[in-house]
Amino acid sequence: TRFADPDLSDSRKVSCLMAAFRKGHCKVVKYLVRQVRQFPSDIDCRRLISTITDKDLLKRCQTCMDQIISAKERQAAEANKAAN
């Protein structure tokens, strides 16, 4: 195919969305949440954030987590709308 599958994981079972989230790449996360169908769990996101000591990275990761949660809520709303 022409395009890569954004829902695939690497050999460590890390998705591209989670890899971008871990590094605090907000623009990449913003793009990926519009492409993926599978989102990381809130627990996984919070677990990662709890291990971060760098304040700048922590702030970026929290912004990324907000984007992920917003996209998950949007996806759930669309699914509910389609179900009704």
Judge whether residue 1 has pLDDT over 50: no
Hey, what amino acid is at 44? D
**Of 54, 66, 69, residue with least CA distance to 26:** 66
pLDDT in tens, 7-59: 777 788 888 999 999 999 999 999 999 988 889 999 999 999 999 999 999 99
pTM of structure:
0.85
Return the pLDDT at 26. 96
Q: Which pair of structure tokens corresponds to residue 9?
A: 């994981």
Predicted local confidence at residue 5, as pLDDT:
74
Give the confidence band of 2 by pLDDT, cuts at 50, 70, 90: low
Q: How far apart are CA 84 and CA 80, in angstroms?
A: 6
**58 — phi, psi (to 5°)?**
-60, -45
How many whole angstroms separate alpha carbon 8 and alpha carbon 59? 27
